[in-house]
Structure 1
Amino acid sequence: MKQGSLGLPISRAGRCAFLLLSAVLGGCSDEAAPAGPPEIFENPPELAPNAAGVHELRLAPSEVTIGGKRYCLRTYNGSIPGPTIRVPSGTDRKVRVNLHNDFKRSDYRLVAGAANTSAVTCHDFNLTNLHAHGAHVQPNYATPAAGDPCEGSGCGPDARYHADDVLHEVPPGEMAQYRWDLDEDGTHHAGFNWYHPHIHGSTAIQVTNGAAGALIFEGDLDEVPGIAKANERIMVLGGVPINVESTRPLADGEACSEDTLSANDFEAAENDTKPTLVSGKLLPHIKTSPNQVERLRIVHAGTPNELGMKLHPSEDPTCESFDVLHPIEITQIARDGITLPKFYVSDTIWVSPGYRIEAVVKMPAEKTTLCLVGRRPADPLGSLVAIFDVDPANGEPTETNMPEESALAAIAPPTTFMGKVDGQTMEASCESVEKVHQKIALLVPTPGEEPDPEKPSELGSCSPNDHMHGIDPDAPTCLCPAPNISCRRFDDRRAWGYRSDRVMEVGTTEKWEIRAFDGHPFHIHINPYLVCANDSNKEPNFPHWRDTFWVQAEDGPRQILTNFRKFTGQFVLHCHKLNHEDMGMMELVEICPEGDTACLCQGTDAAGNCISQAGCKTEDLQCQFAKEATDAFPLPPAPNPALCGP
């Protein structure tokens, strides 16, 4: 073994690395090491619109090579990740995307997990749709535009385009026409976002296969000195389960088709030991120059594990050993596609599924090697993710000056804004809005959850007729289903016929409190939220705008300020560990027109008061228990013999 900077042993050269909070070193296996010469990092190709201004996106089985082996995966346009969609700056941008589902037939597969405690459901892994993660646009259908009706197949009702419509389904052999009107509510914030499928029950398997791509909205951020000429690195972090037993590489001479898919079961999607691919490459080398300012645009496009990454100076060209105790500080300038109001400087880039981080870092002045090392719960000692080769031979730097913090602050969205709170228009901020309007609990546990040995141990094919997503009459009333949001499952609420799970009026601002039993990335579509000051050691702890934020039990509740601007309609909030979302850890949200009681209320009580769509039907006892359990969380609910018996 080689000796590290502390004189302690480091395992197999260049294939295992370390992320330490103390002076302890360790190692990992060499199983995921690529064969042959090292791969060189490249940004994903960009998808140019066709002559009609439409981006053509195709989901199909495609052959890809990872670590010297051939795999057959569900991909966009034949590659992992999918091509980058880059939208130039402007003021009235209407982004057209045609999504083609080029699979020929359905493929129904079982979905279950959570230590075999969750309900077993059946979903079509070849059913799909499209989500513009980070876009503040209409949630259902694009607003009619004069002279631009949706024509032909794949349109919504009344010749309208689909917008960020994750409730729409695109079966095999069909297509859907999307239009994202970025500037309908003022010029859209510039930043780094992504697109991916969002079909309930099949999201995790499709994204884990690599069906995801970068979505860049250009604007004022890209013109800031120190950023405008920096080296742009689009780093789509994926987790194809190449090290999972059920994932089968293609045999010599075997063609890729719907019959030879390599990763096609939910167990593979849920596996937490998948190696980290960087824009489709395993352990790539990033060629850069001394003093070069690198602009890192990172998206965690995998599931289920969070990842903490550090950049360590190496003592050799292949990161066999490196300086563990002196990682390089990295300056974060934006989160979730939104410019931060001030720099967040840290030696750790901490990402959870769904996160986007934009950061700048200046390379050392001399020829050297830097090691990007990632640590996660299933890999506590860490593994090498990528290698930066800093060498004058790579050319002259394009930018050597870092941006000024004041230049970023000038374009960041304000953390105080005019909002309508409890019917009154006021200057809203985390400090001025004191009342907590809604409480959300991520994965409320209850006693009695035990693994069920009778459930399928192999999550193979299934018949939808045998696995209907209906109400289980034998399900216990006074247990929270696994997994859940506020003790409720998405599928159960749909089976009961609830129109929505959480409703608000358009134009309103509320303070929410988010708690978690263990740890989950909380994501909401369409409208970003203001994260209030917190004591996190992983995240910016000053107020800033996000759409995905990690909440963990150890840190207690998190408070956010919502602002439901402009758009009405239905969308979702969920845990962005996509295997959790597929198992039901999701809610259907609806923003109603002001005073629309049909939208806001499922009915009225004896006194004529609105029964919220978020409430419970009289006969739905589990829903009533869920409210008591959520209100009491993190404590257990008080005994209620009327619901739960003596």
Structure 2
Amino acid sequence: MSRLSRRRFFSLTGGAGALFAAGLAGPRLFGSAATSGELLTSKVPLPAPFQVPLPIPAVLAPIARDADADRYEIVQRQTTVEILPGLRTPIWGYQGTFPGPTIESRSGRTAIVRHRNELPVPTVVHLHGGRTPSESDGYTTDLVLPAGGTHTTHSHGGHTGMQDPHARVTQGMRDYVYPLQQHASTLWYHDHRMDFTGPAVYRGLAGFHLIRDTEEDALPLPHSERELPLMITDRAFAEDGSMHYPSVDRSLTTVHGVEDSYIEGVLGDVILVNGAPWPVAEVSATRHRLRVLNASNARRYDLALDPPPPGGQAFTQIGSDQGLLDTSRVHDHLPIAPAERYDLVVDFGRYPVGSEVTLINRLGTGSTAQVMRFRVARRDKEDSHIPDRLSEIEPLDRAQATVTRDFSFRGGRLGDRHGWTIGGRPYAPSRIDARPRLGDVEIWRFVVDLHHPIHLHLVNFRVLSRGGRAPGPYDAGRKDTVDLRPGEAVEVITRFDGYRGRYMFHCHNLEHEDMGMMANFETI
């Protein structure tokens, strides 16, 4: 990876001219600055919003427990469910549900999750945000082949045209071992198969994994029924009720990627929360904790409450991707990119009983401008508050860094097709782009052409700078995904601790990821 001076690095954010001069212009640089992607329009009439209750994903019970570990079993299978009222939609689901069941774990207590693949294609499971040994991290070629034996080789199509000699391939099932030596946080698990992550997640392969610990337990935060996990996704639906997705190969077995019009990302016109279209949650006039996950393939949201509470400051942020902040922050609105999570407290006691409060998307239009609704149904005793201090976060500064690395994320070519690259090269599973030493602190600097939410496996990081200035108001805390706007540059700092082995970093726009925008690092 080429080295840039810090001054030169930040000069690349000076506008479209600088990006073209640097060779960083993507296929549609001058598209909408709100989000990157192309809208798919459903072929069925859309239901009226706010007609169905908010579903809460079931919490998965362990099949066995011992002194150190909890054991779970999940079957990945095809089924049909009712998402739009009156229509049956085929999905690929963990336990046959969308979202999959929630796993709740204790920090430091190992979770062993056996996944059985009864789908017609190989799968890979990645615990997003997990501090996980490499053999269980969900490396993109570590396939679990279908239990029926329809795939018997390591090859599964894709853009590389090669096999990965280091892939760990199993038939039918795999035990993923998560030591969970990390802070309480909102994690999620999803499919991560090379070249086909986008359509697999779109069809339903995603679920929450929540970690709890004694530090968080001691805080007087909203809990029980006043803690709501909210997985926000967007989808489009075909005439037969199926999820409409523009795969080049609808069987997801040979040719990767999407039709050329959707290379920038796939946007749906139906907003789902926990798998339900524009749902309604009845709440008491008390504080509620909202664990918000953007699990959309490409869509960004800018969340706000309508009407806002008296005096504004609708959201009190208490946590980020990987756990609690040091102290809370308040926001009137909240931008959130694919794979980002925000832990929020909303005080519905600031509204009169009977109020209807809509969670809106300030980046949306038409059907995508609204997300869900809260009905303040009753008064109740308030038993929570937000303390001044939430958690201790290890300080990291430039003086601790042993290495600084530079990575550009931009459009490029994958053979004769448009695609996406890191450092000018599309993904290759056998190439290692960085070798940090275990325990070292490094600074990684990213520059982009379009919108790119960048995710690092294994580690959490702090945002050091954005556009050559201080981090933004939404950059606080332990992050594992950082969103960059077109032409922007960001520096992050992290300690590569935990485990040796091969890991990944990539854009979490899933169409970008599938079309080459991934790379590898190896902790040594």
Query: Would you say same fold, with TM above 0.5?
Result: yes
> Residue 601 of structure 1 aligns with which residue?
none
1:56-67 mapped onto 2 (5 Å cutoff): 56-67=73-84
Structure 2 CA distance for partners of 1:138 and 1:36, relative to 1, 3 Å:
closer
Instruction: Tell me the amino acid that sits aligned with residue 170 of structure 1.
Output: V
* Alignment of 1:374 onto 2:382: no
Mapping of 1:146-545 within 5 angstroms? 162-173=136-147, 174-183=172-181, 188-219=182-213, 220-228=215-223, 231-242=226-237, 245=238, 248-249=240-241, 266-267=258-259, 270-290=265-285, 292-313=286-307, 329-363=314-348, 364-367=350-353, 368-376=355-363, 379=365, 383-392=369-378, 396-397=380-381, 399=382, 401-406=384-389, 408=390, 411-416=391-396, 429-430=397-398, 432-433=399-400, 437-443=404-410, 482-490=419-427, 493-494=428-429, 498-534=430-466, 539-540=472-473, 544-545=477-478
Q: CA deviation at 1:76?
A: 1.1
Three-state SS of the structure 2 residue aligned to 1:167 is coil
Pairwise CA distance, 1:237? 1.2
Amino acid at match of 1:396: D
Could you tell me how far apart the structure 2 residues matched to 1:541 and 1:327 are?
Answer: 17
Following superposition, the deviation at residue 129 of structure 1 comes to 1.2
Q: 1:41 to 1:230 in 2, by over 3 A?
A: closer
Aligned length: 439
Query: What is the correspondence of 1:509-588 to structure 2 with a 5 Å cutoff?
Result: 509-534=441-466, 539-540=472-473, 544-554=477-487, 556-588=488-520
Q: Within 2, Cα distance between the matches of 1:31 and 1:551?
A: 34
Match of 2:8 in 1: none
**Structure 1 contact 196–213 (Cα < 8 Å) conserved:** yes
Unaligned runs of 5+ in 1: 1-20, 22-27, 106-125, 141-161, 251-257, 314-322, 417-428, 450-468, 593-646
Q: Quickly say closer, same or farther: Cα 1:175–1:288, change in 2 above 3 A.
A: same
Task: Specify whether residues 370 and 87 from structure 1 end up closer, same or farther in structure 2 by C-alpha distance, changes over 3 A only.
Answer: same
Residue of structure 2 in register with 1:95 after alignment: 111
Query: Using the alignment, how far apart are the partners of 1:537 and 1:499 within structure 2?
Result: 33
What is the alpha-carbon distance in structure 2 between the residues aligned to residue 32 and residue 326 of structure 1? 38
- Any stretches of 5+ residues in structure 2 without a counterpart? 1-33, 35-40, 148-171, 243-249
Q: Cα offset for 1:541?
A: 5.6
Contact 1:415/1:543 (CA < 8 Å) preserved in 2?
no
Q: Amino acid of the residue matched to residue 74 of structure 1?
A: W
Q: For the structure 1 residues 433 and 387, does the alpha-carbon distance in structure 2 shift closer, same or farther, using more than 3 Å as the test? A: same
* CA distance in 1 between partners of 2:59 and 2:45 (Å): 28
Partner Cα distance (2:72, 2:198) in 1? 24
1:412-444 CA-to-partner distances (Å, cap 9, x unmatched) read: 32223xxxxxxxxxxxx14x3588711111115
User: Whose relative contact order is higher, 1 or 2, with alpha carbons under 8 Å and at least 6 apart?
Assistant: 2
Structure with greater strand share of residues: 2
Three-state SS of the structure 1 residue aligned to 2:267 is: coil
Q: Using a 3 Å threshold, how does the CA distance of structure 1 residues 441 and 545 change in structure 2: closer, same or farther? A: same
Closer/same/farther in 2, CA of residues 380 and 327 from structure 1, 3 Å limit? farther
Partner deviation per Cα, 1:571-615 (whole Å, 9 max, x = no partner): 1100000111011100011111xxxxxxxxxxxxxxxxxxxxxxx
SS of the equivalent of 1:205 reads: helix
Q: Write the letter of the residue equivalent to 2:127.
A: A
- CA deviation map 1:551-588 (0-9, x unaligned): 1235x321111211131100110000011101110001
- What SS does the aligned partner of 1:359 have? strand
Counterpart of 1:332 in structure 2: which amino acid?
Q
2:22 aligned residue: none
Q: Residue 40 of structure 1 aligns with which residue? A: 53
Q: Distance in 2 between matches of 1:289 and 1:238?
A: 25
> Displacement, 1:343?
1.9
Kept in 1, the 8 Å contact 2:234–2:267? The answer is no
> How far 1:344 sits from its partner (Å)?
2.2
Cα drift, residue 386 of structure 1: 0.7
**Structure-1 residue corresponding to 2:25:** none
Q: Secondary structure at the match of 2:208?
A: strand
**Cα offset for 1:337?**
2.4
* Structure 1 residue 273, shift from structure 2 partner: 3.1
2:144 is paired with a residue of what secondary structure? coil
Q: Secondary structure at the match of 1:503?
A: coil
Shifted more, 162-171 versus 354-363: the winner is: 162-171
CA change 1:62–1:229 in 2 (3 A) is: closer
Counterpart AA for 1:504: P
**Alpha-carbon separation, structure 2, partners of 1:172 and 1:276:** 31
Choose which of 102, 115, 127 in structure 2 pairs with 1:84.
102
Give distance in 1, aligned partners of 2:474 and 2:302.
17
Q: Structure 2 CA distance, aligned partners of 1:64 and 1:214? A: 19
Q: Secondary structure at the match of 2:335?
A: strand
Q: Does the C-alpha gap of structure 1 residues 67 and 163 become closer, same or farther in structure 2, counting only changes over 3 Å? A: closer
Q: Does 1:49 align with 2:32?
A: no
Partner SS, residue 483 of structure 1? strand
TM-score normalised by length of structure 1 = 0.62
Instruction: State the 1:165 CA deviation.
Output: 4.2
**Could you say which structure has the larger radius of gyration?**
1
The aligned residue for residue 631 of structure 1 is none
Aligned residue type for 2:486? A
Change (3 A) 1:360 1:265: same
Q: Is the 8 A contact 2:64 2:72 kept in 1?
A: no
Residue matched to 1:616: none
In 2, Cα distance between equivalents of 1:542 and 1:207 = 26
Alpha-carbon shift at residue 383 of structure 1 (Å): 1.6
For 1:391, give the aligned amino acid.
A
Q: Deviations over 1:334-353 (max 9, x none)?
A: 11122112222111122111
Q: Aligned residues: percent identity? A: 24
